[in-house]
Amino acid sequence: MKKVRLTINGMPKQFVVGTDRVLLDLLRDDLRLTGTKQSCDRKGQCGACTVIVNGKAVHSCLTKVINLDGAEVITVEGLGTPDNPHLIQEAFVLAGAVQCGYCTPGMIMATKALLDKNPDPDNGEIKQALAHNLCRCTGYVKIIDAVKLAGRFLRGEATPDKVRPDFKDGTLGVSHPRPTAMLKACGLAEFAADIQFQDALEVAVVRSTEHHAVIKSIDTKAAETMPGVIGVMTAKDIKGTNRLKMIFPDQPILCENKVRTLGDPILVVAAETKAQAQAAAAAVTIAYDPLPVMMTPAEAMAEGAVQIHAEFPNVCFRQPQVKGDAEKALAQSAFMVEAEFQTQMNHQAPTEPEACVAYLEGEGEDAQLVVIGRSIDIHTHKAMLQEALGWKNVRYEEAFAGGQFGIKAAITSEGIAAAAALHFRRPIRYIPSLAESMLLTSKRHPFSMKVKLGADKDGRLTAYANDFIVNSGAYETLGIVVITRALQMLSGSYHVPNIKAMGQLVYTNNAAGSVARGAGPPQVAFALESAMDMLAEKMGIDPLEFRRMTSLKPGESVSTGAVIDQWPFEGLCDAIRPHYDRAKKEATAFRDGPVKRGVGIACTAFGIAQPGDEATVDVELDPDDAITIYAAAADPGEGTDSMLTQITAHLMDLPMEKVHLVTRNSDQTTGTGPAAASRITYMVGGALVNALEQMKAAMTEAGVTNYKGLKKAGKPTRYTGKKNVTAGQLDPKTGQGPTFESQVHNIQMAEVEVNTETGEARVIKMTSAVDSGPVINPKNLEGQLEGGMDQGVGYALREEYIHGRTKDWVTFKFPTMKTAFDMEVIIRETPRLKGTLGSTGIGEMTMVSTAPAVTNAIKDACGARIYDLPATPDKIKAALAKGE
Ligand code: FES
Ligand code: FES
């Protein structure tokens, strides 16, 4: 041990520390400075833990306190507060660089270190300085903007007041900062791992080392007597169904007698410290009887394959789709292409690990079990926990969430933390590592697709066939939803009179698949948009013109047979045309030499508001004439808070600070469905408008304008708004039936360079043309598009989750500042007939069309057609060698 004197945020402090104490723990655990975050497993990969030591940005997770005697440390809390922020914090908020906010403190500290030395950095210097700070939400564009804006503020060339939008400019269509952005920029937003409890236990989970096996025996004797250990918990200690039931009751909180995939949870150890819990978990011995391992659908569908779940066949869901007579139409088509496509398993990669805390409020059997995590659907998840745990009195509170991108449509860490809180009757902190978080969460499903696409001699599409098999992994989770969505959007932006498709969901021993940004459409769009280019090439038609001329038109039907009344897609083709012509012209300069440049196009008509969707929102006029919105509409970074606030301020003619949100507590809110499927603006925003209209009507009827008047008139001050979409299901035999109530339209254009010697592909620029209706907050909209494009390019070129092998951000190939590229956004604002003030939602759609735009650009650049994502250098070289 050694005494170390430090100055932390200007305050002198002394500590006596051992050789292994790192600065991150000292800050977070001893000083409660939780603005400094941890994303990677202390490997120097994420930068979330960045602080400044003696003027230099350092990773606090790798910095030994014992070596810091006399050092000056600055954390994000040392820069400013929401009332008196630092100019860099102001710049991040005003530039729209804060989405989920988990990376923000580290980004801000790295920016401060850069600007202290170099007050006017160029893009290259910014990318260099922030190269080790990861962000999953923004695509880095707005972060670079923020660094530049901070530089202007610090150099005295601009002031926040000059940049901040004025309320006189209006409320809608204006980039007012997000309501929680400054809290995040100051490191004060509490994520689940930041919450401390008196008397809390830490838990560690013993997970399966086998992919498929019967649990023969569990020996916990050694573990139970280890220092600090309070006890162990197995499935037998869970009083409810022990099933986290989304659709099928197939996923246990803790496995009973069988494991179905690597990392399946078997046992929980609770101890006074995390290190003690982990040490004891490592001392548990489990004996297995191995079963045949089937990682692919082909193995699980083979004759005589062992059934992974006794209650469900390995092919656990099938949904055909039949519209017209595709076989006949294909046979009669003047042109036809046929190919097989494969997409990879992928991790959604939110930067925050799967932290969850739980505790009992009150005593005995009446106590309320409080679960604090980062669910995007707190009412549904509360109900799942009630059933799984056999405990009625449950409250779910949503902490701030470090992104999610579909991963939190399911809950697993919550099941463990909540079960442990009930069993041990002590507050529980379950803070898994990144490696464990990767094991326990569901992933984007891999799809295998056999497709045929035909056209007549005039270039009109005649028929499309897609036979696809989805690797569900060990659990169904939301695989049925993913297949249904894939079929509902199967024909993309186009009019295809004849469709023949089949989607099959197959259990395997791979990681469980579930929803991930886009949830089904990104996989099938890769096949369709590749086939569109192949067919255009065969016919000798320009790919953009081919898409424009085959656009669906109002009065025609999508793949489900549902007739569409609005389809503003052709305008986007026209809008992107000059950009496409410019890019094609520029690419011709790369004809000679090993590096070739290509331009690729791909499109989306992304469904918003599925049949039967519903949302409920309560609004209340408060005694001070502010309005409080009560609705469980999660905001893990998408901008829900902004949307609710700006719409309310606009409709009620209020300043934004007079709008309050209660959205994170299941006891205080209406259940309003998941913050998924790009549905929140359309559905929850729609219900909000309905509630506010009722309030305004009551005020008008009473001839009053405020709370006092409404009360005096005997009118209620609280109103419940609804938005409902007509219910209906796809026919189980034909896949025909209703589709989404609206669509957001998009064309992605990728400009890509391919080094034909190394096979390396590099995106130079993505251009996104979008029509989602009137824009509520331009910077939030751009942020969603930019983040989606960055994720889409990662999906196209690099990212892949391999169960058991992908354990951190390096093996995942997380996009960095160095892989970032130029982006441009083109906006069209056709009001939607039933949209929220005409608007829809844009959280996912760039994820759908980016990957095929990139692979189409690779083909355009060098002739290599990629059928199997991601388009790694090996695959590009192999395609070049085959002359494809
Ligand atoms: S936690 Fe320090 S770099 Fe990731
Ligand atoms: S804002 Fe950067 S990770 Fe979410």
pLDDT tens per residue across span 288-324: 999 999 999 999 999 999 999 999 999 999 999 999 9
Q: Residue 273, Cβ neighbours under 10 Å: how many? A: 12
For residue 530, with 0-12 CB atoms within 10 Å meaning exposed, 13-18 middle and 19 or more buried, which class applies? buried
Q: Is 799 a catalytic residue?
A: no
> What pLDDT does 168 receive?
82
Question: How remote is the CA of residue 41 from the centroid of ligand 1, in Å?
Answer: 6
Mean pLDDT of 191-220: 96
Q: What per-residue confidence (pLDDT) applies to 401?
A: 96
pLDDT digits (tens, 9 = 90+) for 406-447: 999 989 899 999 999 999 999 999 999 999 999 999 999 999
273 CA → ligand 1 middle, Å: 21
Does 354 have pLDDT greater than 70?
yes
Over the chain, what is the mean pLDDT? Answer: 97
Task: Kindly state the percentage of the chain with pLDDT values over 70.
Answer: 100
Query: CB of 622 within 8 A of CB of 659?
Result: no
Residue closest to 559 by CA, chosen among 607, 491, 611, 502 = 491
Please tell me if the CB atom of residue 636 comes closer than 6 angstroms to any atom of ligand 2.
no
Does the pLDDT value for residue 369 go beyond 90? yes
Residue in the structure block whose two tokens are 């001893």: 30
- pLDDT reported for residue 169: 84
Whether 9 shows a pLDDT value over 80: the answer reads yes
**CA 135 to centroid of ligand 1, rounded, Å:** 13
Residue from 38, 807, 814 whose mutation best tests the ligand 1 pocket (most atoms within 8 A of CB): 38
Residue 194 token pair: 């930041």
How far apart CA 106 and CA 57 sit, in angstroms, is 9
pLDDT(884) > 70: no
Q: What DSSP designation does 636 have?
A: S
Nearest ligand 2 atom to alpha carbon 98 = 1
pLDDT of residue 124: 95
| Range 184-210 average pLDDT | 96
103 in contact with ligand 2, CB cutoff 6 A: yes
Q: What is the DSSP letter of 306?
A: P
Taking only the tens place, the pLDDT of each residue in 533-549 is 999 999 999 999 999 99
Distance from residue 765's CA to the centre of ligand 2 (Å):
21
- pLDDT > 70? residue 740: yes
What is the CA(61)–ligand 1 centre distance, in A?
5
Q: Locate tokens 């076989």: which residue?
A: 327
Unique residue bearing structure tokens 């469900």: 312
Ligand 1 first shell, C-beta below 6 A: 38-40, 42, 44-49, 59, 61
Give the integer Cα–Cα distance in Å for 134 and 420.
32
Q: pLDDT digit string (tens) for 118-173?
A: 999 999 999 999 999 999 999 999 999 999 999 999 999 999 999 999 888 889 99
In the block, residue with structure tokens 């992605």: 748
In this prediction, residues 335-339 reach a mean pLDDT of 98
DSSP class of 312:
B
User: Which ligand gives the minimal distance to the CA of 434?
Assistant: 1
Ligand 1 atom closest to the CA of 37, numbered from 1: 1
Instruction: Tell which atom from ligand 1 comes closest to the C-alpha of 40.
Output: 4
For residue 883, the model assigns a pLDDT of: 78
pLDDT of residue 560: 98
Tell me if 138 CB under 6 Å of ligand 2: yes
Q: What is the SS3 assignment for 284?
A: coil
Residue pointed to by tokens 């923004």: 138
- Determine which one of 190, 224, 844, 884 is catalytic: 844
- For the residues 710-720, what does the mean pLDDT come to? 97
d(CA 453, CA 455): 7
Tell me the best of 45, 102, 133 to mutate to test the pocket of ligand 1, counting ligand atoms within 8 Å of each CB and taking the most. 45
Residue showing tokens 């914090």: 89
DSSP label of 602: E
Residue 167 pLDDT: 82
The two three-digit tokens of residue 770, written as one number: 């979008």
Does position 278 have pLDDT exceeding 70, yes or no? yes
